[in-house]
């Protein structure tokens, strides 16, 4: 619990700093000699730091399901920078770009920028199904369109798990589709929401790039990761010789070390067992307590900790997040807030959900600290809020 009298149910936004990570980091920082040299320096102090960096990368690779190091790691300042570095690599390589309709803003919002920078860029959008999954059956036609437009290759950027609904991409079906592509393809998976939540074996996925973020697994924010399959070229945002030549600047050793501390503590099966039980309890009890509650993506494979819930029968936003906050619950509505106007979730709209229902929705995402008592208290709070609102709107 991060703050007294607050039940934190927004782990998809940030998992905070895990206690064991904080303690390990404090212990490491107490030994000041470990944090003075540049790992690119050739003297012994610098090479000691280089060893720390190498060992941290090895731990992280193992936690990503690539213990044999079939790929290289590029460390960035955030998951956003990681995603955008990959997309800019696609654009600078002359590829057509295919992104999903439900991508995180880190990816989605960059496409118009890239098109302004290069009006000749060919960009295509892969729709979402009502289930919340990518409409992978449409991908072949988009790749044919890309070829017809003159593209010889395509960069495809898709979520591995959607940050709002938790719906997972069917990697087996995606592999089969890509095997028959009329153009050469390079695949990027945004893995920020899968790391630590499900078993992973990056080496066996069809991905050429996968991106991750430190603060989703219990490390401080500020470290992003690009996993790239060996011999896959990457175009850096800042020219430099760090990170296999893929990024400029001295590596953030403290952030990378903290990420490795968090990575070595991950236990996806244990996380999945605990949080899936909480999510299922929430959806079952809320369906009984709140008439018209809708659970988006519930029929699709999802990461175990995420539930996206809609409340039908309201025309305008009913302050669900704010009222829950007053009752001591931290959840998310997963929508943009511009000029003090709350907008409906772009992801839910892409699934074909009505504007009114998308507007009146929240995301609950569980983490290791949550309990059944948190679930039951949230259900009761939502029952009270919903009941009061129905009385005032009917």
pLDDT of residue 343: 87
Give residues with Cβ within 8 angstroms of 100, minimum separation 6.
Answer: 125, 126, 128, 134, 157, 158, 159
pLDDT of residue 337: 47
- Of the given ranges (164-178, 282-296, 338-352), which has the lowest mean pLDDT? 338-352
**C-alpha to C-alpha distance for 102 and 347, rounded to whole angstroms:** 5
pLDDT average, residue stretch 83-89: 96
pLDDT of residue 339: 41
279 in Cβ contact with 306 (< 8 Å): yes
pLDDT of residue 236: 66
24 backbone dihedrals φ, ψ, rounded to 5°: -65, -40
Query: What count of residues does the chain have?
Result: 394
Residue 245 vs residue 337, higher pLDDT: 245
pLDDT of residue 1: 43
Q: Is the pLDDT of residue 168 over 60?
A: yes
What's the pLDDT tens digit per position in 322-366? 999 999 999 998 754 444 567 899 999 999 999 999 999 999 999
**C-alpha to C-alpha distance for 205 and 208, rounded to whole angstroms:** 9
**C-alpha to C-alpha distance for 362 and 310, rounded to whole angstroms:** 7
**C-alpha to C-alpha distance for 178 and 221, rounded to whole angstroms:** 34
pLDDT average, residue stretch 175-196: 97
Half-sphere exposure of 228 (CA within 13 A, CB side): 23
Adjacent-strand bridge partners of 99: 125, 157
**C-alpha to C-alpha distance for 52 and 58, rounded to whole angstroms:** 10
pLDDT of residue 3: 55
> If you compute the radius of gyration of the chain from its CA atoms, what whole number of angstroms results?
22
Q: Is the pLDDT of residue 123 over 70?
A: yes
Q: What does DSSP assign to residue 43?
A: S
pLDDT average, residue stretch 267-277: 97
Q: How many CB atoms lie within 10 A of CB 12?
A: 25
pLDDT of residue 67: 85
Q: What are the structural domains of the chain?
A: 7-16+268-393 (3.90.1150.10), 21-264 (3.40.640.10)
pLDDT of residue 245: 63
Torsion over CA of 169, 98, 73 and 251, rounded to 10 degrees? -120
What's the pLDDT tens digit per position in 15-68? 999 999 999 999 888 876 556 788 888 898 888 888 989 999 999 999 999 987
Q: Is the pLDDT of residue 12 over 70?
A: yes
Q: What does DSSP assign to residue 93?
A: T
E strands, the chain, in order: 7-8, 71-76, 96-100, 123-126, 153-159, 184-190, 209-213, 224-229, 293-296, 306-311, 329-330, 337-338, 341-342, 361-365
Average pLDDT, the chain: 92
Share of the chain above pLDDT 90, in %: 78
- Of the given ranges (244-253, 265-274, 359-368), which has the lowest mean pLDDT? 244-253
Confidence of residue 392 (pLDDT cuts 50, 70, 90): confident
Q: What does DSSP assign to residue 33?
A: G
Q: How many CB atoms lie within 10 A of CB 238?
A: 11
Residue 276 vs residue 343, higher pLDDT: 276
pLDDT average, residue stretch 233-248: 67
Residue 347 vs residue 231, higher pLDDT: 347
């Amino acid at each position: 619990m991060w703050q007294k009298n607050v039940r934190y149910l927004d782990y998809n936004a940030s998992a905070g700093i895990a206690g064991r990570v904080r303690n390990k980091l404090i212990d490491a920082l107490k030994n000041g000699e470990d944090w003075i040299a540049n790992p690119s320096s050739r003297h012994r102090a610098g090479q000691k730091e280089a060893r720390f960096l190498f060992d941290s990368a090895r731990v992280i690779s193992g936690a990503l399901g690539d213990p044999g190091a079939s790929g290289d790691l590029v460390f960035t300042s955030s998951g956003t920078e990681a995603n955008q570095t990959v997309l800019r690599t696609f654009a600078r390589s002359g590829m057509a770009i295919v992104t999903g309709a439900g991508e995180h803003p880190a990816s989605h919002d960059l496409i118009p920028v890239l098109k302004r920078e290069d009006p000749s860029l060919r960009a295509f959008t892969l729709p979402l199904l009502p289930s919340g999954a990518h409409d992978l059956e449409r991908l072949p036609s988009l790749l044919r369109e890309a070829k017809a437009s003159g593209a010889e290759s395509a960069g495809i950027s898709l979520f591995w798990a959607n940050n709002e609904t938790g719906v997972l991409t069917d990697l087996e079906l995606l592999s089969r589709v890509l095997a028959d592509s009329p153009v050469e393809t390079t695949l990027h998976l945004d893995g920020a929401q899968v790391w630590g939540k499900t078993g992973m074996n990056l080496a066996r996925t069809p991905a050429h790039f996968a991106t991750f973020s430190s603060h989703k697994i219990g490390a401080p924010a500020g470290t992003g990761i690009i996993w790239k399959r060996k011999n896959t070229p990457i175009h850096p945002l800042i020219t430099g010789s760090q990170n296999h030549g893929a990024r400029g600047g001295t590596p953030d050793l403290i952030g990378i070390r903290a990420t490795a501390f968090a990575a070595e503590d991950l236990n996806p099966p244990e996380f999945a067992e605990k949080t899936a039980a909480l999510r299922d309890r929430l959806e079952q009890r809320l369906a009984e307590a709140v008439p018209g509650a809708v659970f988006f993506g519930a029929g699709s494979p999802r990461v175990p900790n995420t539930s996206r819930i809609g409340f039908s029968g309201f025309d305008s936003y009913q302050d669900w997040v704010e009222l829950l906050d007053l009752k001591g619950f931290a959840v998310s509505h997963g929508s943009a807030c511009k000029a003090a106007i709350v907008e409906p979730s772009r992801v839910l709209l892409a699934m074909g959900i009505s504007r009114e229902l998308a507007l009146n929705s929240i995301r609950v995402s569980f983490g290791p600290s949550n309990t059944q008592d948190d679930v039951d208290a949230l259900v009761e709070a939502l029952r009270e809020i919903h009941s009061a609102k129905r009385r005032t709107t009917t």
